[in-house]
């Protein structure tokens, strides 16, 4: 059975949970709490799996794989039911670019370890840290909302769920959590709501996880 090491609020782990659910794969969730015990990702037992001390990590037999986007690609290659990327090479490149706009440009600079570093040792207040978070969300969403005008529909690419939707949903979850005004992004918000109406997305949502607290 597949084992996913993750954390209920981890955006990257959230993406992978959605993919596993869409593909109907049985998997075991192993919680790595990013706050308790000084961050369980720093424990030696977890470092042996993922020296980067980040989540998620997927274990499939002898394979131990980190990086959520690599995991999504692996799942699509090895478990092709419910494909996350189009077969057409041009369309595949477009979907990948859209997903990476979020996964590589927005998410990393708002990751937990970045926010923790802003507060200590750099000494920024909670308010300043939240302002940082919302600023980069806005920069990313401003561009994404414009892009969706050309290819968005019910989902990021017309009416077909793709990898882009799996990456977008956790980012919108974070935006709502950090009180970004989403009225400026009707296309993004509409896609988010459409996705959450599906069981695979709902079951993957943070509050549905056993380690949610």
pLDDT band at 150 (very low <50, low <70, confident <90, very high): very high
Three-state secondary structure of the chain: CEEEEECCCCHHHHHHHHHHHHCCCCEEEEECCCCHHHCHHHCHHHHCCCCCCCCCEEEECCEEEECHHHHHHHHHHHCCCCCCCCCCHHHHHHHHHHHHHHHHHHCHHHCHHHHHHHHCCCCCCHHHHHHHHHHHHHHHHHHHHHHHHHHCCCCCECCECCHHHHHHHHHHHHHHHCCCCHHHCHHHHHHHHHHHCCHHHHHHCHHHCCCCC
Q: Is the separation of the CB atoms in 10 and 173 below 8 Å? A: no
Given the structure tokens 């709902």, which residue do they identify? Answer: 202
pLDDT band for position 94 (50/70/90)? very high
pLDDT at 213: 76
Placement of tokens 């595949």 in the chain:
92
Angle of the 126-151 helix axis to the 163-177 helix axis, nearest 10: 140
Domains and CATH numbers, the chain: 2-82 (3.40.30.10), 89-200 (1.20.1050.10)
pTM: 0.97
In the chain, % of residues over pLDDT 90: 100
Give 6-54 pLDDT, tens digit per residue.
999 999 999 999 999 999 999 999 999 999 999 999 999 999 999 999 9
Q: What average pLDDT score do residues 128-143 get?
A: 97
CA angle, residues 18, 7, 63, in degrees to nearest 5: 70
CB 111 within 8 A of CB 67: no
Predicted local distance difference test score (pLDDT) of residue 128: 97
68 contact partners, CB below 8 Å, separation of at least 6: 12, 13, 15, 16, 56, 103
Residue with tokens 């993004």: 188
CB atoms within 10 A of CB 175: 24
């Amino acid at each position: 059975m597949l084992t996913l090491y993750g954390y209920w609020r981890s955006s990257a782990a959230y993406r992978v949970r959605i993919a596993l659910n869409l593909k109907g794969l049985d998997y075991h969730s192993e919680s790595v709490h990013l706050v308790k015990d000084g961050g369980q990702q720093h424990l030696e037992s977890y470092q042996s799996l993922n020296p980067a001390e980040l989540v998620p990590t997927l274990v499939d037999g002898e394979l131990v794989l980190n990086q959520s986007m690599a995991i999504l690609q692996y799942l699509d290659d090895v478990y092709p039911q419910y494909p996350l990327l189009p077969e057409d090479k041009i369309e595949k490149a477009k979907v990948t670019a859209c997903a990476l706009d979020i996964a590589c440009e927005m998410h990393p600079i708002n990751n937990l370890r970045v926010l923790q570093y802003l507060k200590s040792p750099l000494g920024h207040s909670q308010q300043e840290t939240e302002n940082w978070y919302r600023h980069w969300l806005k920069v990313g969403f401003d561009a994404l909302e414009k892009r969706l005008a050309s290819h968005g529909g019910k989902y990021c690419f017309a009416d077909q769920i793709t990898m882009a939707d799996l990456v977008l949903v956790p980012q919108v979850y974070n935006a709502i959590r950090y009180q970004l005004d989403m009225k400026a992004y009707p296309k993004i918000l509409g896609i988010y709501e459409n996705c959450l109406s599906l069981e695979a997305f709902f079951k993957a949502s943070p509050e549905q996880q056993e380690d949610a607290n």
